[in-house]
Amino acid sequence: MADEEIKKEDVETASEEMKETENHEEEVSEVDTLRSKVKELEETIADLKDKALREAAETENYKKRLRQEKENAVKYANEALIKDLLDPLDNFSRAIEASETSKDFDTIKTGVVMVEDQLHTLLKNNWGLEAYSPEGEDFDPAEMEACMMQEVDGIEKEKVLQVFLKGYKLHGKVIRAAKVVVGKPKKN
């Protein structure tokens, strides 16, 4: 019986050792699986970091491009206006040159008036600029600046007696008020 007990113990020990070996193999397998998952997750994290950095760089480049486009838009905003003004400027130069050699002041004056008309037409048609001279009209403080006031007989409301400086509107908006002398009714 002792032999049988020893054999039984040996079988149990061997069985326990096999179970331990199997458990150890399972643990090793689990560790390998976990290592594999960790490696996979590390690669995913690295990819995500790379994508995030690229997107941040793209966003920064986009902002820089927008900033540069805005600077250029501001810098060259008046380019078309300047191009439109080149012909009248050339005509003024010709008038100045003509005045140096010619003593025909009427012709020079006519040329200068033509250039002024060219400028006004160009600015009105291409840019929406209109000059106004409100002489004889009712005084309107929204469009006019009173430089002087005079009491006048025979008027019931304030009227523009004289225009010192024309006013200008850009697409209907006053950009420079006309500077005027205003007549006001005399107090009795």
Q: For the domain that residue 151 is a member of, what is the CATH number? A: 2.30.22.10
User: What is the SS3 assignment for 174?
Assistant: strand
Q: Are residues 42 and 109 in the same domain?
A: no
Torsion sign, CA atoms 162, 166, 170, 171: positive
Asked if pLDDT for residue 56 goes beyond 90, the answer is: yes
According to the model, what pLDDT value does residue 188 have? 65
Instruction: Give the pLDDT score at 61.
Output: 97
Select from 87, 110, 127 the last residue of a domain: 127
Question: What integer pLDDT is reported at residue 6 of this predicted model?
Answer: 63
User: How would residue 52 be classed by pLDDT, with cut points 50, 70 and 90?
Assistant: very high
CB atoms within 10 A of CB 154: 7
**36, two tokens:** 């594999």
The confidence band for 111, taking pLDDT boundaries of 50, 70 and 90, is confident
Chain position carrying tokens 């941040």 = 56
**Residue 179 burial (10 A CB sphere; 0-12, 13-18, 19+):** middle
Which residue has better confidence, 144 or 17? Answer: 144
The token duo for 69 is: 């486009």
Asked whether residue 41 falls in the same domain as residue 88, the answer is no
How far apart are the C-alpha atoms of 183 and 94, rounded to whole Å? 42
Domain ranges, residue 157: 131-188
Predicted confidence (pLDDT) at residue 29 exceeds the cutoff of 60: yes
Going across the sheet that includes 173-176, the strands are 129-132, 167-170, 173-176
**Same domain assignment for residues 53 and 1:** yes
Instruction: For residues 103 and 161, give the distance between their C-alpha atoms in angstroms, rounded to a whole number.
Output: 36
pLDDT of residue 172: 94
Task: State the pLDDT confidence band at 143, using cuts at 50, 70 and 90.
Answer: very high
pTM above 0.85, yes or no: no
DSSP character at residue 166: -
Query: Do 5 and 71 belong to one domain?
Result: yes
**Residue 33 sits in the same domain as residue 100:** no
Helices (H), 78-104: 79-101
Q: Count of domains in the chain?
A: 3
What integer pLDDT is reported at residue 7 of this predicted model? 67
